[in-house]
Amino acid sequence: VTGASALARERFSIPNDVIYLDGNSLGALPKVTPERLRALMREEWRSDLIASWTKHDWIDLPMTVAARLAPMVGAKPEELLIADSTSVSLFKLLGAAVRARPNRPVILTQRGNFPTDLYVVHGLADLLGLEVRTVAANEILSAIDERVAVVTLTHVDYKSAVVHDMAAINAAARAVGAFTCWDLSHSTGALQLDLNREGCDLAVGCGYKYLNGGPGAPAFIFVAERLQDELRPPLQGWMGHADPFAFEDQFLPGGGIRRFLTGTPSILAIAALECGIATFDGIAMAQIEARSRVLSQAFVERVEARCGDRVRLASPRDPAKRASHVCFAHQGGYAVMQALIERKVIGDFRAPDLMRFGFAPLYNDETEAIRAADTLGDILDSGEWDEPRFHERGKVT
């Protein structure tokens, strides 16, 4: 059947007996990553030692690897860099935004936003005496006013997979002179993004989900070119200096996106992320987005056919309105997910009752979607999920 196979399964090393539907939490291992890191250690670090920073262009790696992401998110290469964690990156951008709007006391965000985004927002607001305005998703547009310095939202809801209308929110913010700062953690590598066409100001995104960069991979930062000279991150460090190796006492921000660097980033971690990004080589994001909807839709239809009203779809029914994962609610969702994992169908659980399944078209296919749905049906039929061992807590997933 045309389109029935994964787009690039051969680029990954995944155990054969596993149906892995949690690439939205930790992407699978690209086959080339171990060899790339071995070469970096043996042929760069070992052999050229300190000279590697120039000889192997480590010094530019945060920009050169980010540039490979540019076509995937609709940004210019010089609008992206890779450095710190998503949380730290978000702090930098929000800090820069509120500094550039000193007379505006409000950071606007969404109730139920991904928790670390809320923690970062509140940490910054507490530090600066700002006000956090937290509203429901459908109240965002009406909550944007001239007291708002920056609107920060996660583009794709980490539970429901609902996708925000970026263009509308960007336009509303720009109309009142507020910035937008998007968290693209559940979008990048899953949806076709066009940050510039949608009018985005600022964004961060995760490296270890759909981008397959490895556990705790560094995040990326997007700053629209038109804003780069205006903004200064509060977290300024030597790698963001115009001339880091001049060792000057005074901070002189580097040109363009480079000023958003802070300390020395992990070269091993960025190199691993580059391998993850390379798993998308030659595959259009439009194709990935379309395939992810085919996969999630096949899964949804099979689950509903097989399980009926024993589960409830907690994501938009219209595939065009959701991203690359879907959630089903079940009162015993935690235990059902543990039973699925024991049968090597790996998704994750989000309180209070959501079973979450992510589809990564690079390595997932329809057969997996159907088998996962059937396994869920079997587990509900047999009632095995209600065995005590599946109710034990303490798992990370």
Which residues are tagged catalytic? 114, 183, 208-209, 356
- CB neighbours of residue 159 within 10 Å: 18
Out of 246, 309, 320, 389, which residue is the one contacting its own copies (CB under 8 A)? 246
- Under 8 Å between Cβ of 260 and 223: yes
Residue 341 sits in the site that holds its own copies (CB under 8 A): yes
Residues 138-157 that bind its own copies (CB under 8 A): none
- Under 8 Å between Cβ of 268 and 34: no
Out of 7, 66, 72, 124, which residue is the one contacting its own copies (CB under 8 A)? 124
Give the nearer residue to its own copies in terms of CB position, either 37 or 162: 37
Give the nearer residue to its own copies in terms of CB position, either 272 or 300: 272
Q: How many CA atoms lie within 13 A of 233 on its CB side?
A: 29
Give the list of residues 6+ apart from residue 164 with CB closer than 8 angstroms, or none.
Answer: 137, 140, 153, 154, 155, 156
Residues 265-324 that bind its own copies (CB under 8 A): 265-270, 272
Give the nearer residue to its own copies in terms of CB position, either 124 or 285: 124
Q: How many CA atoms lie within 13 A of 267 on its CB side?
A: 19
Task: Please give the Cα distance from 110 to 117 (Å, whole number).
Answer: 10
Residues 11-30 that bind its own copies (CB under 8 A): 13-15, 18, 20, 22, 25-26, 28-29
Out of 233, 319, 333, 377, which residue is the one contacting its own copies (CB under 8 A)? 233
Placement of tokens 């990156």 in the chain: 89
Residue 64 sits in the site that holds its own copies (CB under 8 A): no
Task: Please give the Cα distance from 178 to 135 (Å, whole number).
Answer: 17
Size of the site for its own copies (CB under 8 A): 93
Give the nearer residue to its own copies in terms of CB position, either 90 or 307: 90
Residues 196-215 that bind its own copies (CB under 8 A): 208, 214-215
Out of 217, 285, 314, 326, which residue is the one contacting its own copies (CB under 8 A)? 217
Residue 180 sits in the site that holds its own copies (CB under 8 A): no
Residue 63 sits in the site that holds its own copies (CB under 8 A): no
DSSP-based helix, strand, coil % in the chain, nearest 5? 45, 15, 40
The least distance separating its own copies from the CB of residue 137, rounded to whole angstroms, comes to 14
Out of 1, 142, 245, 309, which residue is the one contacting its own copies (CB under 8 A)? 245
DSSP string, 68-107: HHHHHHT--GGGEEE-S-HHHHHHHHHHHHHHTSTT--EE
Helices marked H in 134-245: 140-143, 166-175
Segment lying near its own copies (by CB under 8 A), choices 113-121, 170-178, 285-293, 297-305: 113-121
Residue 101 sits in the site that holds its own copies (CB under 8 A): no
Beta bridge partners of 113: none
Give the nearer residue to its own copies in terms of CB position, either 95 or 319: 95
Per-residue tokens: 90: 């978000």
The least distance separating its own copies from the CB of residue 36, rounded to whole angstroms, comes to 10
Give the nearer residue to its own copies in terms of CB position, either 233 or 377: 233
Query: Which is nearest to 21 in space by CA: 338, 260, 356?
Result: 356
Query: Which is nearest to 322 in space by CA: 313, 310, 331?
Result: 313
Residue 228 sits in the site that holds its own copies (CB under 8 A): no
Residue 192 sits in the site that holds its own copies (CB under 8 A): no
The least distance separating its own copies from the CB of residue 40, rounded to whole angstroms, comes to 9
Give the nearer residue to its own copies in terms of CB position, either 54 or 331: 54
